[in-house]
A and B are shown apart, each in its own frame.
Chain A
Amino acid sequence: MSTLRRIDDEVRSYHWFVKALMVVVLVGAVAAMLRFVYGLGATTNLNDTYPWGLWISFDVVTAVPLAAGAFTLGAIVHCFNIKKLEPLVRPSIVTGFLGYSLVSVGLLLDLGQPQRAWHVLWYWNVHSPMFEVSMCIMLYTTVLFLEFLEPVAQKFGWKVSLRLLRWLEMPLAIAAAAISTLHQSSLGTFFLIAVDKLHSLWYNPLLPLLFWVSAICSGMCIIILEATACHKWMGEPNEGLLLRTLSKILPWTLGAYLALRVYSLVLLSVGPFFNRPWLTLSFLLEVGVGFLVPFIMFCNKAVRENDSRRALAAGLVVFGLVLNRFNVSMFGMMDPQNPYFPTAIESLVTLSIIAAHILFFVLIAKYFPIFEHHPETVDYRIPHRPVKTAGVSGQSAGRG
């Protein structure tokens, strides 16, 4: 009784915004139940013309690149050894872990036979990009879970596992980057099969590569947005200095993306390109506002060093990425005479997935050492000879 009481009191003490998020998540959960009771046909606007809708376009195709920050930062910090950025790794891992868990939820909701999801593990089809992405998502969620265990172990003072996890940090970061490279790009491969269906502004053989590079860009931008927001609204420390370093990398990746995009459009695609005004507009918004403008902004030192302008530029990249994924997976394949709109239930479920992401992030940040982790002083070398055991427990406790 008293535990319930305590939980109740705790929840009551939350900020109204957190409570509002909880309500949205609950409503979404009910909407998701309706889908299982009444079926996809009754609750969504999916049909034989539009077998994929909002849930695939957002919950899977868009959410996965938005959660790419974890592997990008892991590689930057642990492989490129830019250790300065280490404090950003934990929040990005939490984001990634939440993101991928929710992608799995979205995917299960969308499957017609979710109880058979395990079939993917049993009946392999290596020719299927969907097989590849599903396998990677399962593997990568496991990796993220292991990485996420570190603050958990620290919170509960499990010293041995903390040491083990710390030792695993590097191999996990490498595995994360390799697995992510595969599935981020394979999401692009999905649409290579849509020859003659996807509009030429987006269809080209480089789609997988473009998906990968843009995922890297947006992953970093999400970290910028997240850290800025946490500083502003949650009273977390200002990571401005680190974000400045991070945003120095962005002109390179965004520039590479734009160059690849132009190359693939000019040399690898066959028109017609500008035959559909709405698609042209969507394309211009995506590439212009979503990639070109922030590229120019990030090239500018004044933008990189100003917290709010940097966040704005990052926001534009996220906008560009979302629009790009929708253009590829939805708008670019739509029949203008008979367009698709999501139902209220579809929209609610997606909305509550976003809300769940923010909610869980806030709660985890509240109860686990996500931001306090500033290990500038920590020695991150892989121990090349065993450390004497006497010092270990004290040392690892001190490390957090």
Chain B
Amino acid sequence: MSFNRDFSRDGTFLIDLTKCTGCRGCQVACKQWNQLPAEHTEFFSGEGYQNPPAMSEYTYTRIKFRDYQKNGQHEFAFYKEMCMHCNEPACASVCPVGAFEKTAEGPVFYKDNRCIGCRFCMIACPFGVPKYEWSKALPLVKKCTGCLERVKEGLHPACATTCPTAITYGPRDEMIKLGKERLLKSPERYVQKAYGYQEAGGTSVIYLTALPFDELGFKQVTKRALPEYTWEALRLVPGIFLTAGAGLSALAWITHRRERLRQELEKERAALAAEEAKEDQE
């Protein structure tokens, strides 16, 4: 685990949802780059105009739609769902075989040749990101790759490259700076908070929005890095093991010794009594 690593130069998405037009170019680019098949869906099968209704083994990112009224006008707001590429990923910490890795470049990478398919990562991820190949007999986990191969070659992720307006990609500290500037420059335009700046201990995807985050469907997530919650207990493991082992051994030794002494005493007494009896007889 990368506790206390410096994340400021990690490749990070700054997603300004006030600039998103809902064109869903990112959805298409993602499918294309990752060679993901289309899904058979129906319009309005989810909450609103969004399609497909949820992220899945075939859909790593998706634009959620929310329509609302503003000054008597219909307005749309959007939310691009994807893996947050957490600084300290819950998925990586719970995986028994370490199939997830927070790479130095920023993306959280899934090594599918390690995965045993326990699906703990799906339980652990606070954003509900990892999806499973339910259609297969020997399924694997699927999630946004952060386009690690592209990033390693100096390119930007497919969705960030395609997006005409809303996504900026760059080192985390610069993205945070840029986001802060925007919040300061046009306070009337934004909710004064950046989602992902501190969520789950900080992530490599940072959002700016006009609507409150929960209204758009953002999850309420703790500010602490999730691996800390389990590590608090797990770090005690060697100590508990040794204490339990040593304690019980000591206890066993004491109780058995006491018993042995008692029996020896009894034997001695018996012997003494026997001798006395013998003497008496004589």
Contacts and interface: CB of A to CB of B under 8 A. Distances in A.
Contacts of B126: 195-197
> A36, A122, A182: which has the most chain B beta carbons within 10 Å?
A182
Interface in B110-127: 114-120, 122-124, 126
Nearest to B263: A381
Interface in B233-262: 233-234, 237, 240-241, 244-245, 248-249, 251-252, 255-256, 259-260
Contacts of A128: 93-96, 98, 120
Interface string B42-67: 00000000000011100000000000
B112 to A, nearest CB: 10
A377 interface: no
Interface in A101-133: 110-117, 119-120, 122-132
A38 interface: yes
A48 B116 contact: no
A75 interface: yes
The bracket for how many chain B residues form the interface is: 35 or more
Interface residues of A, number: 66
A296 interface: no
B256 to A, nearest CB: 6
Given A75-B248, A175-B245, A125 B95 contact: yes
A79 B259 CA distance: 12
A36 B56 CA distance: 22
Interface in A9-58: 36-42, 46-48, 51-52
Contacts of A41: 132-136, 139
B259 A381 contact: yes
Contacts of A112: 115-119, 132-133, 138-140
B218 interface: no
A23 to B, nearest CB: 27
A174 B256 contact: no
Secondary structure type dominating chain A contacts: helix
Contact of A111 (B117, B137, B221): B117
Nearest to B231: A127
B230 A119 contact: no
B227 to A, nearest CB: 6
A178 interface: yes
B123 A194 contact: yes
Contacts of B233: 129, 185-186, 188-189, 192, 205, 207-208
A156 to B, nearest CB: 29
A318 interface: no
Given A81-B252, A129-B230, A182-B241, A46 B123 contact: no
A178 B132 contact: no
Given A48-B131, A125-B96, A190-B120, A195 B222 contact: yes
Interface string B81-95: 000000000101111
B111 to A, nearest CB: 9
A130 B137 contact: no
A130 B226 contact: no
A117 B138 CA distance: 13
Interface string A169-193: 0100111011101100110111011
Contact of B116 (A40, A113, A170): A113
B219 interface: yes
A134 B138 contact: no
Nearest to B56: A48
Contacts of B98: 123-125, 128
Contacts of B136: 39, 41
A196 B221 contact: yes
A163 interface: no
A80 interface: yes
Interface of A: 36-42, 46-48, 51-52, 75, 78-81, 110-117, 119-120, 122-132, 134, 170, 173-175, 177-179, 181-182, 185-186, 188-190, 192-197, 205, 207-208, 380-382, 384
Given A192-B232, A193-B90, 20 more contacts: A39-B138, A46-B134, A111-B117, A112-B119, A112-B139, A117-B116, A124-B98, A125-B93, A125-B98, A127-B92, A128-B98, A130-B118, A131-B96, A181-B240, A189-B230, A192-B230, A193-B227, A194-B124, A196-B126, A197-B123
Sorted nearest first, the 9 A-B pairs with minimum C-beta distance are A112-B117, A41-B134, A81-B255, A51-B122, A51-B119, A131-B96, A125-B98, A130-B96, A113-B117
